[in-house]
Amino acid sequence: MGLFQHLLVPIATESDVRTTCAALEPYLEDLERVTVVHVIEKAGGAPDKAPLEKRREDAAEFLATAETMLGEFVAVDTRTVFATDVVPAFFAAADEAGADAIAFRARGGSRIRRILAGDITTNLVTDPELPVISLPNPETNAR
């Protein structure tokens, strides 16, 4: 990843932040900065998935974990973003942070689940506004 100095790294859950940071770790020596983002998805008129305060607390915990895992290797910024559409929120956050690229770890799930929930991975890599890097799954590569 020597072409990039500043990556935006989206995270979703506690296990996701741990796996994503582990996947990113081998590339940190080439980076100057990482901006870790958690998007709290707003329902846009429909009831939200969970109370807002709980989702803010969870986001703060996820971002603190990322800062702890990455902070000794690289400068880390953290952000919580509120949006009704996750993928454009990632690109907007990357633009605001001045990131060179977005680095993410694709999350599993069945094809039906991805279709019903909206496939963020496909939307992220289809006609991106800046380079998008798919990180390997560290568990798979450990073999």
pTM: 0.82
CA dist 55 to 41, 62, 83, 116, Å?
9, 10, 13, 22
Which numeric CATH code is attached to 6-141?
3.40.50.620
Domain spans of the chain, in order of start:
6-141
Q: Which pair of tokens denotes residue 37?
A: 């983002």
Cα distance between residue 64 and residue 97, in whole Å: 18
- Name which of 105, 86, 73, 90 is nearest 37 in CA terms: 90
Cα distance between residue 74 and residue 89, in whole Å: 24
- pLDDT by residue (tens digit) across 16-73? 999 999 999 999 998 999 999 999 988 766 666 678 899 999 999 999 999 999 999 9
Report which of residues 134 and 6 the model is more confident about: 6
